[in-house]
Chain A
Amino acid sequence: MHEFETVVGLEVHVELKTRSKIFCSCPTAFGGDPNAHICEVCAGLPGALPRLNKKVVEYAVRTALALNCEITEKTRFDRKNYFYPDLPKGYQISQLYAPVGRNGSMKIDPSSEKVIRIHELHMEDDAGKLIHDGERNLTRIDFSRCGVPLLEIVTEPDFRTADEVTAFLTTLRTMLKAIGVSDCKMQEGSLRADVNLSVRPVGEKKLGTRTEMKNLSSFRAVSKAIEYESLRQWNVLSEGGEVHQETRRWDEEKEASFSMRKKEEAAEYKYFPEPDLPVIYLPDDVVEAFRKTLPELPASKFQRYVEEWKIPAYDAGILTSEKALSDLFERTVEVCGDAKEASNWIMGELMKLLNENGILSEDLSIRGASLGEIICLIKDGRISRASGKEILKAALLENAIPEEYADEKGLWLITDRAELEEILKKVIEENPKAVGEYRDGKTKNFQFLLGQAMRATKGKADPGLLTEILRALLV
């Protein structure tokens, strides 16, 4: 039997987190009573016209730039016509002929060489939601989601494995969150991916017939669906059958895909330019102004961490995977001036605390300077490493301020030379035997004397300083 390879392209829908909808001023808030957030525009009443939310264009351009797309100078909307009860206008306002971005690319993750080409990126409005009530044989419609702004990112068929796809989606999600255009919550549907998949014998240049899979609600589902569909198609081909171009629905419970509609049944969308909205003019200076508002992208952060700060690639990958993590990391370095130590604390102690307390790194919320301050206090010998860990926990869970917490809990190490000298002198006085033996060459008694002094301070002496003074006193 031949070896086969899978070829995948993605259509990713991203819900933008603008406050209001794309064509009216209704809020985009998730949840709420059905039909709580609708008006004549998003409900498609006769006589109502769309009014483009400029923020959506800004977010789309930012995203297109972050994906290295060419920006279309005169971008415009088109109508995609089809009938469905969740679509009150009878058409979706989308972009076909002049999408906002084209010909982009992104690495599947910062440390990889694998690049996925972006075919195009366009803006569109979301549809409503049908709620089926089987008991009463009713279907209810919630139009609140109508008009929520979406970006559709269409990749070229550049993926060969499910792992590449999930890596890409992870990187994409991190990037979208970093530039502040979307929350990318798959469970709330703010990031949805459709998978276009075909298989072919290894070495074959021509693409096979593809299917499109929908209803993939998690990265895991994407991965499972790709594996399932690859095998299904290959089995069909191996048995001399033919793969049909069709849309298939992924069933998460059954972990299988089912045919939704064949190509012959495919809708005729009758696209044409939307006459209700003017052309959007994006000349170079406007695009450059948008570019300046872009924060540093995770990929570039990754490179900087590895090259300038000598952070291991694995650690840098994790630190740049969440904006909250990289923000904390950079602030910590800023405060304590030690990137290696900052990275070690985040990768070690902080991650452990997050795990233990069931906090997702995307939900990390901590005063930015706290970890840097803790590291400084340890380096300055003012607190012990153990106290540092305790303070970090309090800073994470209770918003404790390190110095205040150390005050409150009496965590300060004694760093007063005179005070420590006083204590040590007393220890020497009380242990003449041990001192005598030490002076006679029994060097391990040094540790004993140090321990006595440490006990006398209840462990709060700066061990370095204590050692130094004891050594001086015993000379």
Chain B
Amino acid sequence: MKREEIFSFSAFELARKIREKQIRAQEAVEAVFQNIDEHESNIHAYISLDREAAMNEARHCDELVQKGGELPPLLGVPMAVKDNLLLKGRKATCGSRMLENYIPPFTATCVQKLQDAGAILIGKTNMDEFGMGISTEHSFFGPTRNPLDPARVPGGSSGGSAASVSGNMAFAALGTDTGGSVRQPAAYCGLVGLRPTYGTVSRHGLVAFASSMDIAGPLTRGTRDAAGICNIVTGADPKDQTSISGPKIDISSLEQATVKGMRIGIPRELSGESESRDGFSLAVSEEVKASLEDAVRILEEEGAQVEFFDMPILSYAVEMYYILSSAEASSNLSRFDGIRYGYRDPDAKDLASLYTGTRSTGFGLEVKRRILMGNYVLSTEHFDDCYRRAESARKKLCRSFDEAFSRYDVLLSPTAPQVAPLLGESGKDALQNYISDLFTVPASLAGIPAVSVPFGKTSLPVGLQFTGPRFGEQAILTAARFLEIHQEERKEKEAKGGTENA
């Protein structure tokens, strides 16, 4: 089968074709590595790849298919996982010099679940160091480029995962989302990115950034792949006492998703219509605004009730997020001290210089900035006016969401204020970068599910985000799937129109 044809299948379609012996797993893996050979040196989606192991696994998958019997749902599907998700015996650098050669002795629960489902893990993807960044430019191993336009960033921090799928170098990938690190790269790379309800995916084996917000989530080419992978990786895990079981998503009902009668709220603060505050402005680009307007029109035409409403607390979400996530990060990254594993300053003379030398050199600029912020907000002097206030604001934010979901089934907003920027464009002004997280951090703070789905008529993709109440994955994926169907039909029409014109 031709490479293009193989890549016309979604992850679960591919798995079905493999089970039905129409494609061999080895063909799929070979196709993926052919693309990697052609594009990876330019895109740099991966930090490490293991071709031989992948081929061996593929052979094993094909043998299983030959034997027949009950076969797991992702058997033979080549997938990528972000480098902060542990796979026993395979390097897990987290994009940091600190862990350049770190090989973990155990596998993350969510990665194990993918393996148990038959997925072939072909490599570990590039990321902003320890998940801190929005462009994958903050990786010790160099930036990743956006396969849709290599002059542009793929977003971050799961930029490598997004680029691997978008560049047909994997059929789907797992990323991790703390403040938007799955959803925003999905938006930039034209993918579906799902952040499940906090706790439904075990954090065991996810190298912590901000423990109260970290969660792994799928980056896929469609909503049904996202739903299917979500169903596989979720579930309570005794190794993570903050994990919980949620309801599984009914994927068959996504086939003909309808939004008739669905109540959809758009917070004005996340619509790009809100005024700037404190001298910082969040410029939402025209193409993003146009996509949102387009979506509203189509949703209303289908019979959804779309309504703008005020949720003023959202204006403080970025501050809450950076205070709380940096506080947790400063503590979570304390273990990287050069004593037991990882980078160690070779010139250290005593204990104090071992710590300072190791951490000054081992961490990149953005990580050090977050550690400093975290130490600041946790210091005795600032704990009450920073950490405590952010914590209580977070509770208020949760109550505001509860209230919003008493009136709306889902909320709609853009995923990011603009399309993927050019390399080097972001990162000049840290504060401006932080502000652009406004759309994604509210769901992170509230622990509620959110999905980014590509939608719009522009050449570079725009992501729209549906946010739901706790365990509201079904509702947000239904709304996302509706836009996806519409987008597919539109593309088909355009394609037909194109041939007619030709």
Contacts and interface: CB of A to CB of B under 8 A. Distances in A.
B203 A79 contact: no
Contact of A52 (B204, B205, B241): B241
Contact of B211 (A52, A83, A275): A275
Contacts of A85: 337, 339, 351
B99 interface: yes
B19 to A, nearest CB: 32
A40 B207 contact: no
B54 interface: no
A116 to B, nearest CB: 29
B86 A272 contact: no
A276 B339 CA distance: 23
Contact of B86 (A44, A47, A52, A89): A47
Interface string B208-247: 1011100000000000000000000000001111100000
B334 A89 contact: yes
Given A46-B207, A51-B241, A272 B105 contact: no
A275 B199 CA distance: 12
A129 B378 CA distance: 28
B379 A275 contact: no
Contacts of A275: 210-212, 242, 328
Nearest to A40: B106
A44 B205 CA distance: 12
A175 B94 CA distance: 49
Nearest to A274: B211
Contacts of A81: 330-331, 334, 378
A83 B331 CA distance: 10
B335 A46 contact: yes
Contacts of A91: 331, 334
Categorize the interface residue count of chain A: 20 to 34
Contact of A90 (B242, B327, B335, B378): B335
A272 B327 contact: yes
Interface in B306-337: 327-328, 330-331, 333-337
A43 B375 contact: no
Interface string B372-412: 00010011100100010000000000000000000000000
A278 B334 contact: no
A354 to B, nearest CB: 47
Interface string A241-273: 000000000000000000000000000101110
Contacts of B434: none
Contacts of B483: none
A453 B328 CA distance: 91
A277 B334 contact: no
A55 to B, nearest CB: 15
A47 B211 contact: no
B332 to A, nearest CB: 8
B174 interface: no
B67 interface: no
A51 B236 CA distance: 13
A381 interface: no
B77 interface: no
B264 to A, nearest CB: 32
Contact of B242 (A46, A83, A276): A276
B385 to A, nearest CB: 14
A236 interface: no
B127 interface: no
Contact of B238 (A51, A89, A271, A272): A51
Contacts of B378: 81, 270-272
A48 interface: yes
Categorize the interface residue count of chain B: 35 or more
A49 interface: yes
B331 A278 contact: no
B104 interface: yes
A277 B205 CA distance: 16
A46 B102 contact: yes
B241 A277 contact: yes
Contacts of B238: 51
Contacts of A270: 330-331, 375, 378-379, 383
A47 B205 CA distance: 4
The SS class assigned to the B binding surface is loop
Interface in A111-127: none
A45 interface: yes
B174 to A, nearest CB: 14
B7 interface: no
Contacts of B387: 272
B339 A47 contact: no
Most buried by A among B331, B333, B378: B331
A267 to B, nearest CB: 11
Contacts of B99: 46
Contacts of B92: 46-47
Nearest to A51: B241
A88 interface: yes
A88 B340 contact: yes
Contact of B204 (A43, A47, A141, A277): A47
Interface in A84-106: 85, 88-91
Given A270-B378, A272-B327, A47 B337 contact: no
Contact of B203 (A44, A49, A89, A268): A49
B206 interface: yes
B108 interface: yes
B209 to A, nearest CB: 11
Contacts of B331: 79, 81, 90-91, 270, 272
Contacts of A268: 379-380
B104 A88 contact: no
Nearest to B327: A272
B392 to A, nearest CB: 13
A48 B241 CA distance: 12
A464 to B, nearest CB: 69
A62 B99 CA distance: 43
A45 B240 CA distance: 15
A278 B335 contact: no
B375 A47 contact: no
B334 A45 contact: no
A274 to B, nearest CB: 8
A47 B204 CA distance: 6
A270 to B, nearest CB: 4
A43 B104 CA distance: 13
Contacts of B327: 272
Nearest to A44: B335
Nearest to A85: B339
A119 B102 CA distance: 44
Nearest to B342: A46
A398 to B, nearest CB: 49
Contacts of B106: 40, 45, 47-48
A47 B207 contact: yes
A83 B334 contact: yes
A45 B104 contact: yes
A46 B241 contact: no
A358 to B, nearest CB: 44
Interface string A411-447: 0000000000000000000000000000000000000
Interface string A329-373: 000000000000000000000000000000000000000000000
Q: Which 5 A-B pairs have the closest CB atoms?
A: A90-B334, A270-B378, A275-B211, A275-B212, A46-B207
17 contacts: A44-B335, A45-B105, A45-B106, A47-B104, A49-B240, A49-B241, A83-B337, A88-B335, A88-B339, A270-B378, A270-B379, A270-B383, A271-B378, A272-B327, A275-B210, A275-B328, A276-B203
Interface of B: 86, 92, 94, 99, 102, 104-106, 108, 203-208, 210-212, 238-242, 327-328, 330-331, 333-337, 339-341, 351, 355, 375, 378-380, 383, 387
Given A268-B379, A275-B210, 7 more contacts: A46-B207, A47-B208, A90-B334, A271-B378, A272-B331, A272-B387, A277-B242
